[in-house]
A and B are shown apart, each in its own frame.
Chain A
């Protein structure tokens, strides 16, 4: 089955740029989506179709996808961005939804 690999944690100072990666075999050929989950809350979609933002998500959130790595970039990081972030694809070859293991973003 298809596997998505994320770093367990990323730390960044306020105002700086955070980059969270999601690795997968030829992931650039798939459509990648990203979710933010704060403690005790449900996940929230922050990026879909690699780089599109739902309404209400700040422009500071952006995404890219190429080769074997997709990346969620958060610019001008704020304390409120501290959360777990998950990437997700749909593996059409096996008809399975796949999530990465999640990355905990810590704002220093």
Chain B
């Protein structure tokens, strides 16, 4: 079955760190760009970061630049998000998503995990 399964969420204090993981199965993980998208409680979707198939290119939303790092391990079919210097406004469900599209201008997300909740609070 083609699926993405996130893990690693939880409660963390402001200023703390957390590492999210996403396990991919049922497709050739190394062939796709991958992404993290988040959703604060009761709010809309917000794109967070993308990573190229070989990890050589990465894009981030401005609000997480310098604090979050997206990475991947193709041998383990896994995507990661290292989150440092966490803030209350980072509280959200974090979704792992597969990126599709002819070129970057056409990117969209065709497969989503069920998400993992990150709560930043003292």
Contacts and interface: CB of A to CB of B under 8 A. Distances in A.
Given A43-B112, A88-B109, 12 more contacts: A35-B45, A42-B95, A45-B108, A48-B110, A49-B106, A86-B45, A90-B106, A97-B37, A97-B61, A99-B44, A100-B44, A101-B44
B114 interface: yes
23 contacts: A30-B105, A31-B106, A31-B108, A35-B109, A42-B114, A45-B109, A49-B106, A54-B110, A86-B45, A90-B104, A90-B106, A90-B108, A92-B104, A96-B47, A96-B62, A97-B35, A97-B37, A97-B59, A97-B61, A97-B107, A99-B46, A101-B44, A102-B45
Contact of A43 (B59, B61, B62, B95): B95
Contacts of B59: 95-97
Contacts of B109: 33, 35, 43, 45, 88
Interface of B: 35, 37, 44-47, 50, 59, 61-62, 95, 100-101, 104-110, 112-115
A98 interface: yes
Contacts of A33: 108-109
Contact of B108 (A48, A95, A96): A48
Nearest to B6: A42
A97 B50 contact: yes
Contacts of B113: 42
Contacts of B112: 42-44
A95 to B, nearest CB: 5
A44 B98 CA distance: 12
Interface in A11-55: 30-31, 33, 35, 37, 41-45, 48-49, 54
Nearest to A100: B44
A7 B41 CA distance: 19
* 8 nearest A-B pairs in the assembled complex, by CB-CB distance: A97-B47, A33-B108, A42-B112, A90-B107, A102-B44, A99-B45, A31-B106, A92-B105
B105 A31 contact: yes
B25 to A, nearest CB: 16
